[in-house]
Structure formats: C-alpha cells, structure tokens
Amino acid sequence: ITLLQSDIIWEDKNQNFTRLERFMREIAEGTDMVILPEMFNTGFSMNPENLFEDPRSVTEEWLRRMALQYNIGICGSYIVREDEKYYNRWLFIAPEGRVGMYDKRHLFSPGNEHAFFSRGRKRIIFNYRELRICPNICYDLRFPVWSRCRNDYDLLINSANWPQSRRDVWITLLRARAIENQCYVAGVNRVGIDGTGISYCGDSLIIGPKGEIIASGKQNSECIVSADISVEQLRDFRCKFPVLEDGDAFTLDV
C-alpha cells in the first residue's frame, strides 16, 4: 500500500494532477495500491457548483490513466454531480477498470458541508487482489458504527483533509478503528494550508490490526508512505484471537 501525502493547490485540478504525477513516478515498484487524500484535486472546497464533474469525467479518466500506467489500484475523493445533487465521492480504479465507489456518509456540519453536498446512503465493501476493502472519507472516522467490521473486510481506508488542530484525534481514532475491527487501517491526510486558511499536517498512517503503526508520514511535509500488509497474517490473528465473533448484531438505518 502506498499513501501520497501531498499539498493540494486550491481549486486547481490541472496543477494537482501534475503534482501527483510527479509523486507517481517515485512510488516503489511492486506497489498494488495508491491512496490519495479527500478532494485531492481541489482541496476541501464548498464550491461544488463551479468544481463538480459528471460521473466518468476528467478526474475519473485521470485515475484510470494512472491505474493503467502503473498497474495499480488508485483511489481518492472528488466532487461529483449526479441527479442534480453534489457528492463528495470516493472512487477506486483498478487497471481493469472501476472497482469501488463510495459517497461520503457523514458530512462535516461544522464546516457546512451538509449545506452543499448530499450524503451517501450506502456502506460498501469491495474486493481488490484478494483484499476486502471498506472505504471512509475524513469525518466518517468519528462514527464507528458505520465502519464496524463483522468479519467482512480486511482493510479500512480513510481519505481525509483533517485539520492540524485536531491532529491527536486523527491519530487516536485511526488506531481505535484498527483495534476494534481487527483490521488494517490506511489513513491518508494532506499537508499545507487551504484556501480558507485551515492548516493540515499530514500524519498519514498505515496501522496493523493490533493498533500498531506500521508506517507513518512526516508531519507538515509532502511524502510517500508505503508498507506491506498480509491478509494471511490478519486471518491468523483473527483466528487466534476471535474478538469479532463476540460482536453485537445490528442493522443500519440509512
């Protein structure tokens, strides 16, 4: 897994694609998956009417091109309009085509996200190269019921624009999600200052199912974070310490 902890040029898609392509040329050979931050092509903007794309438009085509060029799965979120509604949509593209799509469920009301975007209605899990993946976007991290593992996924991904002022919360919640769900967690966050003056410090993390930090990004610096994870080792740990079997049954009201 490789996380691209980048700065994001405010509301400038072409510049962001160019910056990310420089990162892509540096990823380690053998990487299966590249994870980008939330709204990686614009920053966390509440200006969807000027930045939206229709499905299968410019950003999806860029992701598709990167997937084919590097033979990887690549994912991140961006602004999409569908049925006259705007969504903060996370997309996963594999070399063979689209694999997973998730619309952000928990919209960040303190930042007024709910006033501009429609929330997602579906929790998804999909398979990629023998790995079962559950995606989240930023604020979703605070709502553990939404991402509760019932032995149905192996990796929880969170693509974020998580402010520096809540850095300790980011790190704590990522580790908590790994421990309670006995899963790998990959959380990628941006760095820099956005167009509204909010600062982001990175701290992108790949975490193991015991809450151990496997790899971490530098604070306040663009970087590439990579680590190997093992589905076989995860299954062995879950078998020896079967916490998930004692979980509560429940349904989600979406």
**Which of these is catalytic: 13, 104, 134, 149?**
104
Nearest Cα neighbor of 59 from 82, 25, 93 is 93
User: Are 20 and 48 in contact, with CB atoms under 8 Å apart?
Assistant: no
User: Are 7 and 191 in contact, with CB atoms under 8 Å apart?
Assistant: yes
* Per-residue CA distances from 59 to 52, 64, 133 (Å): 10, 9, 22
Is 38 considered catalytic here? yes
| Kind and range of the H or E run holding 74 | strand 73-82
First to last CA, the chain: 31
**Which of these is catalytic: 38, 53, 60, 113?**
38
Is 138 considered catalytic here? yes
Alpha carbons within 13 angstroms on the beta-carbon side of residue 223 total 16
User: Are 206 and 185 in contact, with CB atoms under 8 Å apart?
Assistant: yes
Is 104 considered catalytic here? yes
Q: How many CB atoms lie within 10 A of CB 37?
A: 31
| CA 215/CA 208 separation, integer angstroms | 9
| Kind and range of the H or E run holding 93 | strand 85-94
**Which of these is catalytic: 138, 149, 183, 201?**
138
| CA 132/CA 130 separation, integer angstroms | 7
| CA 191/CA 73 separation, integer angstroms | 23
Catalytic residue numbers read 38, 104, 138
